[in-house]
Structure 1
Amino acid sequence: MATRYFLRQVVDGSDSCVEIERAAYAELLSADSQFEHVLSVEDKYDVTIQNYLEFETSIVQEAVRELIDPGPRERFDQLRRLLARRLSNVLSSARLYLDTLKHHSREILADDPARLERIEMAPSAQYDNCPEYRLAEALRNYAQHRALPVHGLIGPDVARSSQRDFFVEPYLDPDELRKDGSFKAQVLKELPSDGEVVKLKPILRAYIDALCQIHDAFRSETRPRLEKAAELLETARDRFGEQYPLEHTHFLGALIEDESGMWGDVVYIDAQLLKLVRYLHSVRPSMENLRHRRIEY
């Protein structure tokens, strides 16, 4: 008996099945794989955004703590290490996202070089046009191989007045980077050379803004492929439903059956279609112009 391909209920006790062509099964398998690659990219992007949220939240939390209970300067050093860890998490997860974006995009758009090129060019465009993006990328390498990415914190001047603003401002010291001698020279030239420090909050907001633009390009260029995948899954479900109109399709799968009757490489039609439709219709928060946003309360 030759290898065959079916739409069938993937549950014990059901014999309901519709034989399909090898090409139809291959299309479903490809659509399933493409969607999984998209979800992997979304996972890495979401982890990066959550790490960034923890970085900003830690700053606000400590500013409120200072407002209620101004602590000794030693507490600022503990906070510097905490924010360095938070920032390292953002930079590392962003690097994972960027390093794997090309691989996933090629798996999704292997036969569409024009759309693929637009995704692959998006990080280069941000690097060329956004100095904060260049600094964050160089800082990630510095944090991985040389030292913590937060050199110090600016806080309120206790002696200035009794009515004062409470804030925490992590910074990077270009002079420290020059002493180290390993920081990317081209990026270092763009930093102040007069003893002025670089505040990291606006740098990171601009970096996340740039990553958002890269991710928007990914979503835009892969959406037509996902819409086609949804059509393929829906067509397969309808094809099964035409022959078994009274059966639900919650456990419907497309699968290969070998000569011994063993199943392999199941594509779960209903489950993937549900996830895919939710993805295509989901409303996501916009990070556009994040670099220009401020927190006030």
Structure 2
Amino acid sequence: MTHFFVKQMILAPTVALRIDESEFEKLKLSREILLSAKAIEEKYDLLISNFLELEKEILSQLAEHMIFSQFSYQDMYNLRSVLNRRVANLLTSTRLYYDQIEKHVRTCMKGENKFGKEVKAYFCDEYDTNFEYRFMEALRNHVQHYGLAVHSLSLPSKWVGENESKQMINQLKINSTKDELSQNKEFKSSVFSEMPEKVELTKAIRIYIGCFSNVHKRIRDLINFNVSLSRADIEDVIHRYKEVNAGDAIGISAYSVEEDDPSSMPIDKISILLDWDNVRLNLNEKNQSSKNMSKWYVSGSYL
């Protein structure tokens, strides 16, 4: 007969808390659910971080070109090259998020396949609603299999305001062009037919990431009950162990043994702690929903 306990895995004598098999299995499932929820947040954080790096790159390069007036062919090539790298990194992370999200959601929803399919429908909603989402998905496939994303760029500037309040606005425009994409005969025809002669990528990417933000919020809402319950299950056993062990629950594990002796060699063991799940909570707080991202911009104006 198998017996189940919770105790600190240390060399010194310590208290063992007896649990039953159903609670042991519940703790195992709760840990799997929290790990998958954390994986979802980590992949979204990777996506958002790559987006932030692209936005920062655009601002940094714009400031440098504004101050140093670097407009040679080599300067412009170097600029286009670094922007292509940032866009490629971003598109790789969006695909990673899309490809792996279904399995993580299924785990969070206790293995029910219908919820994985439901999540894929969230992406379909964004695809059907937004040209920019459709275009960026087609562009991602182009970058993965054929060519680069940034085909042309410009650095327009203009004066705004009057008299002493006049300021010069400097911008960096990056584009994917229809002419360049026409060379890829595998580029999605339906998207190609609806695109203009050039697509301004900064705007398109902001809308695209806003779509992912919408999807991520829906996923959080979908899994929230199971994830919160799973954390509460682990918090409960930690609290109960502290009550029988003078408030100390550092390094505890739930485990099974063949004999009714908590000092026997475990045949199955899971660590019981939540420090790593606190990372998930911090990522959840850090990466808030931002569906209106396309309407935001950073200004260096002092007015």
Q: Give the TM-score normalised by the residue count of structure 1.
A: 0.88
Amino-acid identity (%): 26
The answer to whether structure 1 residue 184 and structure 2 residue 183 are counterparts is no
Structure 1: 5+ residue stretches without partners: none
Aligned to 2:50: 51
The amino acid across from 1:271 in the alignment is L
Asked whether the 8 Å contact 1:254–1:267 carries over to 2, the reply is yes
Q: Which whole-Å CA distance do the structure 2 matches of 1:272 and 1:232 have between them?
A: 15
Question: Aligned runs of 1:145-294 on 2, under 5 Å?
Answer: 145-156=145-156, 165-192=169-196, 196-244=197-245, 246-258=246-258, 261-271=264-274, 275=278, 278-279=281-282, 282=285, 284-294=287-297
Shift of 1:275: 2.2
Following TM superposition, by how much is the alpha carbon of 1:273 offset from its aligned partner in structure 2, in angstroms?
8.4
CA deviations on 1:25-76 (whole Å, 9 max, x unpaired) are 0000100011001111111111111111111111111110111101123211
CA offsets per residue over residues 86-142 of structure 1, 9 Å max, x none?
001000111000000001111111366675554332111111111111111111110
2:153–2:173 CA contact under 8 A, matched in 1? yes
Amino acid at match of 1:73: Y
Contact 1:230/1:277 (8 A) holds in 2: no
Aligned partner of 1:73 in structure 2 is: 73
2: CA distance between counterparts of 1:258 and 1:85? 56
Give the letter for the 2:184 counterpart: D
Distance 1:148 1:190, change over 3 A: same
In structure 2, relative to structure 1, the CA distance for the partners of 1:36 and 1:277 (3 Å cut) is closer
Cα 1:197–1:41 change in 2 (3 A) is: same
Q: Alignment partner of 1:189: what SS?
A: helix
Q: Tell me the alpha carbon deviations over residues 8-39 of structure 1, each in whole angstroms, 9 at most, x when there is no partner.
A: 11222133101211110000010001100111
Match of 1:31 in 2: 30
**1:242 deviation in Å?**
3.9
Amino acid at match of 1:128: D
SS at 1:150's partner residue? Answer: coil
User: Aligned equivalents of 2:22 and 2:276: distance in 1?
Assistant: 19
Aligned equivalents of 2:198 and 2:286: distance in 1? Answer: 38
For this pair of structures, how many residues does the alignment match? 288
CA contact (8 A) 2:46 2:93 kept: yes
* Gap change, CA 1:238 and 1:276, over 3 Å in 2: farther
Amino acid at match of 1:248: D
Range with greater deviation from structure 2 (261-270 or 129-138):
261-270
Q: Name the Cα RMSD after superposition.
A: 2.5
Q: C-alpha distance in 2, partners of 1:66/1:272?
A: 45
Tell me which residue corresponds to 2:129: 129
Q: Secondary structure at the match of 1:261?
A: coil
Quote the offset at 1:233 in angstroms: 1.3
2:105 counterpart residue number: 105
Counterpart amino acid of 2:278? Answer: K
**Contact 2:34 / 2:227 at 8 angstroms: preserved in 1?**
yes
1:277 & 1:86 partners in 2: Cα distance?
A: 26
Provide the secondary structure at the position in 1 that maps to 2:61. Answer: helix
Return 5+ residue gaps in structure 2 as ranges: 159-166
**How far, CA to CA, are the matches of 2:119 and 2:15 in structure 1?**
42
Q: Distance in 1 between matches of 2:177 and 2:28?
A: 52
- Seen in structure 2, the aligned counterparts of structure 1 residues 111 and 147 have a Cα distance that, compared at 3 Å, is closer
TM-score, normalisation: structure 2: 0.87
CA shift in 2, pair 1:278/1:127, >3 Å:
closer
Q: CA–CA distance in 2 between the matches of 1:117 and 1:146?
A: 30
Structure-1 separation of matches of 2:179 and 2:237: 63
- Cα distance, 1:79 vs. partner? 1.0
Question: How far off its partner does 1:188 sit?
Answer: 0.5
For residues 65 and 258 of structure 2, the distance between their equivalents in structure 1, rounded to whole angstroms, comes to: 68
| CA distance 1:92–1:283, change in 2 (3 Å) | closer
Which range moved further: 97-106 or 175-184? 175-184
Residues 250-287 of structure 1 deviation map (CA, whole Å, 9 limit, x = unaligned): 22221223469322553333435862894598354332
Between 1:200-209 and 1:113-122, the stretch displaced more is: 113-122
